[in-house]
Chain A
Amino acid sequence: MIKHLRSAADLDAPTATLILDTAAEMAALAGREVKKLPTLRGRTVVNLFYEDSTRTRISFEAAAKRLSADVINFSAKGSSVSKGESLKDTALTLQAMGADAVVIRHPASGAPHRLAAWVDGSVVNAGDGTHEHPTQALLDAYTMRSRLGRLDGLRVAIVGDVLHSRVARSNVLLLTTLGAQVTLVGPPTLIPLDVSAALSPSTKVSYDLDSVLPDMDVVMMLRVQTERMQDSYFPSAREYSRRYGLDLARMRKLPEHAIVMHPGPMNRGMEITPEVADSSRSTIVEQVANGVSARMAVLYLLLGGKA
């Protein structure tokens, strides 16, 4: 097993499959009366969050607690970071406290890679800048596999702001490793220029959502990062929504079995309409539940064995 999970590219197909299989067992245990497992007793997991997050932080916290690890939550607000402490000094502090794993979310791409050089424990990337979010990709792959039964040969469209999306990048890497065929869809301003060189040679690109929908098994809608709206990547929210938003009419173009995913938080009415988000094809709530199982699997596989 690998020591850190910094990028979805750290995972080869057998390792990724092992994580998904382990997540399936963890999910089965979530239905029991006693959800807690003694597996990581005595281990310490630090959640080091330099960026706001609801679901990812809570999900990691729930995952670590269900495995009986001690959890220390650290958010940059209200810590010495606001007094100017560097990431390295914070890392050394955590090191001195004996953290067995550090789960880090950071606005700077590559922060988890730096951190891994400074601490002895495992580092798990919970989202770094516009770079990667590997556990999101794992829970997405898990959701696809449990809904559709397989990943190999699955056709997946990732729609929206691919350029700034760490979710998209990790998904492309992981899904490609596991044999799925990814198509990136969005306005040309929000799709990287040379996707095949930057990510994987088999990845396709389309600027026309309507034309790709009939061939897809999965449509993953990305959040429009409203904080980037004024950067004029697209003319107006209404135009974006009309061309790349998923509404009922577009959803009907999908094959009967296809599912609709969204990593959250959603802008209802922008990239996805409420009717679609709440439809039976949407896996959005399922994704949150699966997130805990996927993160339990990652923590178990990183921390469960011989250090």
Chain B
Amino acid sequence: MASPRADAPSKIILSESDLHRVVDRIAHQILEKTSGATGTVLLGIPTRGVPLAQRLAARIHAFEGIDVPVGSLDITLYRDDLRLHATRALGKTELPGDGIDGRRVVLVDDVLFSGRTVRAALDALKDEGRPSSVQLAVLVDRGHRELPIRADYVGKNIPTSLDESVRVSLTEIDGLDEVKLTGGDK
């Protein structure tokens, strides 16, 4: 996918306060769908899935006082497109101390696009242990799935064309909270 030119038109999809509200809503939905987040583990997919998972855990704690274990799951070594790009540096995989066996794992990522990252994450997960079930939470679903994968929790559905690009910025990594859509002919 070609990255859009720097001067390409861009539009803010989620402002800082929108993004916070969306994270709050997903946290509530997780609590609702997992009957109080019992036996649940949040695993962020690097890079931006990791701070998102931590925020969800912090919000769940704020709402219900429950400590949900949080970790990260790097999927680089499981990607199916490694040979199409220059070698990628690895991200961190850090599972919570009690592991994931028999737990409900909620994978957390910033953007759901082709679904290939999630497929790689499912493969990586199966080598780490045997969760009782796996769910998926994403901040943005931009469509264009190439695999039969869907998210359980979606922050915002954004219809996009393939020549557009969705840019998620998070304070922990980028210094601000925002979701932007750039490129396209609009």
Contacts and interface: CB of A to CB of B under 8 A. Distances in A.
B172 interface: no
A300 B129 CA distance: 23
Interface residues of A, number: 22
Given A38-B77, A300-B77, A306-B83, A21 B89 contact: yes
Contacts of A1: 86-87
Nearest to B130: A33
B92 interface: yes
Contacts of A37: 77-78, 127
A305 B82 contact: yes
B1 interface: no
Most buried by A among B84, B87, B90, B126: B90
B110 interface: no
Interface stretch (A22-30, A163-171, A248-256): A22-30
Contacts of A22: 89-90
B127 A304 contact: no
Interface in B73-101: 74, 77-78, 82-94
Contacts of A302: 87
Contact of A305 (B87, B90, B127): B87
A36 interface: yes
B123 interface: yes
Given A25-B74, A306-B84, A32 B127 contact: yes
Contact of B87 (A25, A32, A300): A300
B123 A38 contact: yes
B89 to A, nearest CB: 6
Contacts of B127: 32-34, 36-37
A301 interface: yes
Given A1-B87, A39-B78, A305-B86, A29 B123 contact: no
Nearest to A33: B129
B163 interface: no
B93 A304 contact: no
Most buried by A among B77, B83, B123: B77
A306 B85 contact: yes
B128 interface: yes
Nearest to A37: B77
Contacts of A21: 89-90
Nearest to A296: B77
A249 B82 CA distance: 52
A18 interface: yes
Nearest to A29: B93
Interface of B: 74, 77-78, 82-94, 123, 126-129
27 contacts: A1-B86, A18-B89, A21-B90, A22-B90, A25-B90, A25-B92, A28-B94, A29-B77, A32-B127, A33-B128, A33-B129, A34-B127, A34-B128, A37-B127, A39-B77, A300-B87, A301-B87, A302-B87, A304-B77, A304-B82, A305-B83, A305-B86, A305-B88, A306-B83, A306-B86, A306-B87, A307-B83
9 closest A-B pairs (Cβ-Cβ)?
A: A305-B87, A34-B127, A25-B90, A39-B77, A37-B77, A305-B86, A304-B87, A1-B87, A301-B87
Interface of A: 1, 18, 21-22, 25, 28-29, 32-34, 36-39, 67, 300-302, 304-307
